[in-house]
Structure formats: structure tokens, C-alpha cells
Amino acid sequence: MIELSASEIADATGGTLVGLDRDVRVTGSVTTDSREVAAGDCFVAIAGENIDGHRFVDVAAHAGAAVIIAEQDVEAPHVRVESTITALGWLAREVLARLREGGDLTVIGVTGSSGKTTTKDLLGAALSEFAPTVFPVASFNNDIGMPLTALRCDENTRYLVSEMGASAPGELTRLTSIAPLDIAIVLMVGHAHVGGFGSLADVATAKSELVQGLPAGARAILNADDERVATMAGVAKHADGSALDASQIRYFSATNALNDRPGLAATDVTLDPLGRATFTTAGATLTLPITGAHHVNNALAALSAVDALGLDVARAARAIEAAKISPHRMALTERSDGITILDDAYNANPESMRAAIEVLAKLPAKRRIALLGTMLEMGGEADEQHREVGKAAAQAGLDWVICVAADPIGAGVRAVAGTEVRANAVQTNDEALDLLTPELTEGDTLLIKGSNGAGLWSVADRLATEKDCGA
């Protein structure tokens, strides 16, 4: 972060100095984790659902925190605010505004029901090839993670890639008010968090917030393969309410659906035996470092931003080929005992479930097994959407489906007439391991996928490293 004094932080956050010298300066980072505090840092005490950061103010102070931001009475000198989460956002907004005024910072925002994290990984790798770039670790895309990412920017930062998630209307508007976008990318509209919105139409309306209220000169990049996204061109507007000019809107397509609209399309798409896509766009041919044809659109979105910035797409493509992808996202592990683990356990919604099942169905294997957990935040559609996933698994011809705390998936498998797919339902991850471990054998390929709250990533971690299980 740029250096700021305690008084400047108080002004930015609407806070009050309590026992804190106004001239004390933050020379380090901003963090919400007291274990990460170093001398000169700013510690923001967040009162979370499970852990209250105010309990660790003394730890942060002893570690050398120059400024502590708190919303409760604490003994250490601090900046007192009404809400530390709000204050974190306002602090990020102030830092970004100063960097825009004094330098050449470009902010790119990415949203969508699926693919945000992979796209920001690919785009972050691509832009880092050209200039200092900040992009989120893991999936920092909410009203805590997004500002923390922004606060990593300093005077040397040329590009900020901001992953922006939303589980309710208005959230993207709030995030873009903190980090106004020069380029807004919308990937797709799906059932993720539909329980917080009500319907797919409501999800689309919320996602369209990303392309509204844009600064002058900003651009929108939209998925031509998703009609709900493509039609957002009609509501894309500047902060003053004026519509974006047609030249400020670009599209991307993995299915050659541009229909004379400006943008990037993928041609000559092929998959290698491990499901990794190779394709050509803008004269560059690249092979993705991640399994699944559905990631072609994520890569196109990233390259579209590169192209819009006037950078070399071919050079960016080489960087994307070497990109490091966040954990638990279509991570393929070929174990020494001949068992292959496809770990996509970070999160799940109906669209990404079906995409992962399609990938599994095309991978070489003696048996194709899917360990599927619950999809959270589905609202009243939960049972139906889980059953549809089960049907998709059966129709894809998988050999075995194990559902964890998601019985309707198993019911969906059994509902497909004539299916020979084995279906088991268990209630815990430990039960799933007990069932799987003695039966996995050489030649099996196992997909593991569920919402983050299902915790199947822990099963994936164990199975991806365990060498002595199976027959």
C-alpha cells in the first residue's frame, strides 16, 4: 500500500483517532489477520461470524502494527469506525483514487456465476508479462477480499485485476464504487447464489451492475455465448447515465457466435488426452494449463482485456500457458498407482457441475467416478437442480456417482431410464472416503466437486496425495 498517516486513514474511513498520534505512518501492508502483521502494517479488526478480530488487537499491536482500525472498544491506540468492513472499502477507494491521480493505474473487474477465479488467474499472469500487476490470491472477491487486494497496489502498480462476486443485488455496485473499472468483464449468468437473487433473470440484472456507472472511457467485455450477458450491452452506461458507445463494447466467443460484433473468437479448438484445450485467436495459438474445454471462454475473456489495452496478444498467450491456477479448480493429479484425481472442489453450481461432468466423461479411464457434494445457495430450486445434475451424470455415462449430503443427485441418477450408473448417497466426507478408499483401483478417474462449504476440497487434498489406497 502507499504510505498514509493515521490522520489520513481516519479521514478516509470516517474514523476517529483514539489515543493514536495523527502523524504515525503505515509503511507496510493492510491485513485482517493478526498472524500476518509486521512492523508498520495496518491491522483491520473484522468481527466475523466465527472469529472476532478485536480479540487479537493486542497481538497485532505487539507485532508492530502502526495503525489499528476497530469498531469496538480496544485497549490499544486505534482508529475507531462504525464498521470495519465499510472502513476497509473506503480506505481502498482512497488509495486507488490517489494512485489514479498520481500515476497510470488501470483497473479491470471480472464477474460471472462461474469462471471468475480462473479468469483472473489467466489475466493476472498475462498482464504481469507487461507491467507490475496486482491480482487476488485464491478467491478474494467479496467486500473484504476485494479491498484487501486493491490495498496491495502501490505507486509501481500498472494493472489491478479485481475479482468481483455477488450473492445479492447491489453488491457489485458497492464493489465498483470502491474500485471504479476501466474494463468490466462479464463471463456468464448461472445459478450460483440464485437463492439470494430469486431467479436467473434477477442474477443477470445483478451481474449487469458491473457495466453500469463506468468512468468515462471505460470499456465492457461481454460473453457472446451467453445471451443474458451479451444483452448487457443495452444497459452499459457511464456514471453520468450516458450509454457506452458501441466502440467501447467488445465480445468473446468460444463457439464463433460473434455475429459481426467486435471481439475475439476461438477457432480450431482441440482437446488433448487430459482435456486441456488448444485453440487459436487473434493469430495466436495457445494450450491452456487447466483441464476443461469450458475454460476456453475464460481465456478469451482474459485475452480480450489484453487486446483492449493494446498489448501483444501472442505474448500474453505464452504467459497464459504458464499461468498458475488457484487450488481446487480442475486440478488434475495422476497418482503413481494409476489413479487420476480431478479436483474441482473449490465451489459448485449447476452449470459448473455439468461442465465438470462433461470433462470427466471425455477423459481416458477404465472407470469414471464422480464424488459430488451439495450446491449451496440454490434457494427453492435446490432439489430440482441437484436432481438435474444427477441426470446429467447418468446421461454422460459415468460409472459411479457418490453424492455427499445431496441425496437428490442420487435420485436424479436413478431417474434416468435404463441407466447402469452405480449411485451411492452418504452424509459426510468421512463416509465418502470410507466408501471410496478400498474400491479405487488403477485406471480410475475420480472427479471431486461441491460447494466450498461442503468441504470436499479436504477429501481432494487427501486423495490427490495418498498413494496407498485402492486395490
Name the binding residues for ATP.
112-118
Residues at the binding site are: 112-118
Q: Extract the runs of DSSP E, i.e. beta strands, from 61-182.
A: 67-70, 78-80, 106-111, 133-134, 159-163
Name the strands in the sheet holding 16-18, side by side, starting at the edge strand that comes first in the sequence.
16-18, 78-80, 67-70, 42-44, 30-31
**At 6, phi and psi to the nearest 5?**
-60, -40
Query: What's the DSSP call for residue 54?
Result: G
For 130, counting Cβ atoms within 10 Å of its Cβ (0-12 exposed, 13-18 middle, 19+ buried), the class is middle
Give the whole-angstrom CA distance, residue 187 versus residue 350: 16
**Torsion over CA: 268, 274, 275, 279 (sign):** negative
CB atoms within 10 A of CB 89: 22
Give the whole-angstrom CA distance, residue 84 versus residue 158: 28
Cell 435446490, residue?
382
**At 31, phi and psi to the nearest 5?**
-145, 155
C-alpha cell at 107: 483497473
For 429, counting Cβ atoms within 10 Å of its Cβ (0-12 exposed, 13-18 middle, 19+ buried), the class is buried
In terms of Cα–Cα distance, which of 293, 15, 385, 274 is closest to 372?
385
Is 223:297 a contact under the CB 8 Å cutoff? yes
- The residues facing 404 across adjacent strands are 373, 426
